[in-house]
Structure 1
Amino acid sequence: MGSGSGRADGAGTCSAIVVGGGIGGLAAGLALSRGGRKVKVLERAAAFGEVGAGLSLWPNGLRALDALGVGDQVREQALAETQAGIRNSSGRWLSRTDTEELARRFGHVVMIHRARLSEILRAALPPGVLCADTEVTRVALRGRGVEVGHRAGVSRAGLLVAADGIGSTVRRSLWPQAPQSRYAGYTAWRLVVDTGQRLPAGGESWGRGERVGIAPLADGSTYLFCVADTPAGQRNPGGELTEIRRRFGHWHDPIPRLLAAADEEAVLRHDIRALPPLASFVTGRAVLLGDAAHAMTPNLGQGANQALEDAVTLAACLDAHPGDTEAALTAYDRHRRPRTQWIARRSHRIGSVAQWNSAPATALRDLLLRRTPGSAVLNSLAPVLDWQPPGREELTTR
């Protein structure tokens, strides 16, 4: 079960090399390994792990985890949402999500710590798959395979999976014409707070050019994220916790209580960036996965879920086209690119509306939210949440 985290062999040859050991890379390594392939997952950090933040797993992501054989373990370590919706900064509900109906139609939405999900995926990998402290310095397509240069030497494989994030080294090397990521116009602070008492429910609160999200976690702590319109690259010299307390400390309960209990060291700040649509996720025997392919804003909570879908679909495509990697990758691109790019566009639109700043615009937005039936919201989510792992016939039909 458990996998070590040694370094890559200097001249190793395997079926597939996965670059990047985040959620998408680990899922890809697991999906490919379950198909009987010899896989190496290369991670540049000295150890595998995830930063201290929460993660929402939607029904489509949980189905992908079921396909990877770890869905039940994840559910045991996660907390199902019991209340969701949007309030204004004073706490008035603008829109409520019927979580029972959502679960009946699509399945539960659960929250888990990213580090815990990473641990579950790593433990499910065969021994010898993980290679930490292995920064990739060079990638090249070599006939019917790939060659990857890294600190420990050179590794070769018949397939390269780039799961190395929005700033992907592999994408820059093998997709030189691909557009660079773009700033969405807002920054985000993320932190996990332990007040000693689990909150009964979470949700989002929208203001003018600012938002706060709250999600209880299974261990009794709370995941908190704050969003604000700011120029890119800004940082607060007095500390980021000071900044978010200034911005959001007067919002409705329990936001002030959570911020009062937070530690500066727990605060992560990242400018939100997204990747413009690519013309293809495939070149030769190399394929993009997760944020390396379709980094999107977090407004639909689908980033990690789409990476999990990618991993399951890639392995299914290879299984559906045995011995024909090119056909498998063509099928992967045909199935994944339209869906992920559509979800990315939708997430961008939601973020644009959520970040409206003018008083008349936000008043209109809030009025529309209050008047939109909950059933309409669930119907709009159906194309995202209805996803099922693809079958062989679906993947072999042109």
Structure 2
Amino acid sequence: MSKALIVGGGIAGLATAIAFDRRGWEVEVLERAPELTAVGAGISLWSNALRALDELGVGERIRERAVEDAAAGIRDARGRWLSRTDTAALRARHGSPVVLHRADLLEILRAAVPESAVRTGISVTEARADGSVLHSAGVSRGDVVVGADGIHSVVRRAVCGVVEPRYSGYTAWRMVVTPTEPLGDLGESWGRGERFGFAALADGRVYCFAAANIPAGAPDGGLPELRRRFRDWHAPIPALLAAADADTVLRNDIYELPPLDTYVSGRLVLVGDAAHAMTPNLGQGACQALEDAVVLARVVATGGDPSAYDAERRPRTRMIADRSARIGTVAQLSNPLLAAVRDAVMRAMPASAQARALAPILDWTPGEPGAIQRPRTGGDVRSHTNT
């Protein structure tokens, strides 16, 4: 039996394990953390990701834990609309995106991987083009070795050499809050060098996220800093921050990868952030990782050369990463004059323009339908969808 050895047990790694397992391959997942956990943040999954999840056989379970993303558009700091989302047109053409807790997504993916396939507490030190991986517990080998080990990937070093992530210029905070007042319209609000957004979760809580232009590695003022920055913004932003728990606020400087020359070398293949870590402005980071998993298994498990995966995935992910970076640049404008011009342009733009811009991203389909199914013991995964 052919074997896929996967380095990394996050969304990209678990999805890749499911994809190969469903095609009859043996899978082994090496995860550095002592257990698979996801900290408290939400995640958006667009229709392209939901199709990938359907192909993995877990789409229905995801939808049961999720809620339709009801984002109404983008406002300014005072609450005036900059752009409205044509949700009816979006739903009719692509289907609605959904929002769920990242921990729920990880739990569903983990349940679909054979229990014995996941090895935690394993630190990988080197990957080789012949399919061998050196780690803290010895050596593992695979017919294909998948680097799903994130933006600081060890496997990527063997594929591309040393590639340094680059700082986007802004940092982000994430938190899950129990609201104390009605939310009103959901979505994002843009200021000058700052943003705040919020989305409902299925359990009644609210996923909040914020961004601000800050030098990389700057001290984190935590929740008091967030409350200071957004205290004069429109409702319900101050109330959401007032209800937040300081111990649950996560902050991460936002980094991205420069374009790679290839995602493959010998038996080594990169997926997810290891291949194309991107800014979160399009909500496509996890979505592209899920696409990667489906395409890689489809290409390799049917006897194709991994270079075909590279040819299919690298142009698409590069296009999406570039778009996401450009949106971030515009959203984080801090110059008052430039920000005013941006706001005026956005108010004049028809809602249909957004749908046209999203179409090349959301129209993705898995390609060859119908992954090979084989009987399995363990958790039942029902077939029927952010990232």
User: Residue 316 of structure 2: SS of its match in structure 1?
Assistant: helix
Is 1:165 the counterpart of 2:158 in the alignment? no
Please list the CA deviations of residues 184-210 of structure 1 after superposition, one character each: whole Å capped at 9, or x if unmatched: 000101111113677454200000000
Counterpart residue number, 1:94: 82
CA distance in 2, matches of 1:367, 1:274: 29
Give 1:211's match in structure 2, choosing from 171, 186, 195: 195
Preserved CA contact (<8 Å) 2:160 2:261: no
Is 1:155 the counterpart of 2:140 in the alignment? yes
User: Residue 6 of structure 2: SS of its match in structure 1?
Assistant: strand
How far apart are residue 59 of structure 1 and its match? Answer: 0.4
The answer to which of 198-207 and 348-357 deviates more is 198-207
CA distance in 1, matches of 2:230, 2:91: 31
Preserved CA contact (<8 Å) 1:198 1:221: no
Please list the CA deviations of residues 133-174 of structure 1 after superposition, one character each: whole Å capped at 9, or x if unmatched: 1111222222xxx11122221111111000000111111234
Q: How does 1:194-209 map to 2 (within 5 A)?
A: 194-195=178-179, 199=183, 201-209=185-193
Give 2:349's match in structure 1, choosing from 368, 372, 375: 372
CA distance in 1, matches of 2:366, 2:183: 34
CA distance in 2, matches of 1:156, 1:14: 11
CA distance in 1, matches of 2:258, 2:239: 38
Q: How many residues align?
A: 369
How far apart are residue 328 of structure 1 and its match? Answer: 2.8
TM-score calculated relative to the size of structure 2: 0.93
CA distance in 2, matches of 1:119, 1:198: 30
TM-score calculated relative to the size of structure 1: 0.90
Against the structure 1 CA distance between its residues 116 and 200, is the aligned structure 2 distance closer, same or farther, given a 3 Å change threshold? Answer: farther
How far apart are residue 79 of structure 1 and its match? Answer: 0.6
Counterpart residue number, 1:337: 314
The one-letter amino acid of 2:212's match is A
How far apart are residue 49 of structure 1 and its match? Answer: 1.5
Choose between structure 1 and 2 for higher RCO, CA contacts under 8 A separated by at least 6 residues: 2
Identical aligned residues as a percent: 55
How far apart are residue 88 of structure 1 and its match? Answer: 0.1
Counterpart residue number, 1:347: 324
Please list the CA deviations of residues 6-42 of structure 1 after superposition, one character each: whole Å capped at 9, or x if unmatched: xxxxxxx961111011111110011011011000111
How far apart are residue 89 of structure 1 and its match? Answer: 0.3
CA distance in 2, matches of 1:49, 1:348: 28
Counterpart residue number, 1:258: 240
Preserved CA contact (<8 Å) 1:188 1:227: yes
How far apart are residue 127 of structure 1 and its match? Answer: 2.6
Q: How does 1:49-198 map to 2 (within 5 A)?
A: 49-142=37-130, 146-176=131-161, 178-195=162-179
Give 2:14's match in structure 1, choosing from 21, 26, 31: 26
Task: Identify unmatched segments of 5+ residues in structure 2.
Answer: 370-387
Please list the CA deviations of residues 238-270 of structure 1 after superposition, one character each: whole Å capped at 9, or x if unmatched: x41111111112211111011001111111111
CA distance in 2, matches of 1:199, 1:120: 29
CA distance in 2, matches of 1:272, 1:187: 5
The one-letter amino acid of 2:143's match is G
After superposition, the CA RMSD in angstroms is 1.4
Preserved CA contact (<8 Å) 1:201 1:215: no
Preserved CA contact (<8 Å) 1:20 1:42: yes
CA distance in 1, matches of 2:152, 2:284: 18
CA distance in 1, matches of 2:45, 2:179: 23
How far apart are residue 50 of structure 1 and its match? Answer: 1.2
The one-letter amino acid of 2:356's match is N
Counterpart residue number, 2:33: 45
How far apart are residue 295 of structure 1 and its match? Answer: 0.4
The one-letter amino acid of 1:150's match is H
Task: Identify unmatched segments of 5+ residues in structure 1.
Answer: 1-12, 322-326, 393-398
CA distance in 2, matches of 1:81, 1:216: 7
CA distance in 2, matches of 1:255, 1:292: 34
User: Residue 226 of structure 1: SS of its match in structure 2?
Assistant: strand
Counterpart residue number, 2:267: 285
CA distance in 1, matches of 2:115, 2:163: 37
Preserved CA contact (<8 Å) 1:19 1:136: yes
User: Residue 208 of structure 1: SS of its match in structure 2?
Assistant: coil
CA distance in 1, matches of 2:249, 2:71: 25
| Displacement over 4 Å in runs of 4+ | none
Preserved CA contact (<8 Å) 1:201 1:216: no
The one-letter amino acid of 2:28's match is K
Preserved CA contact (<8 Å) 2:170 2:215: yes
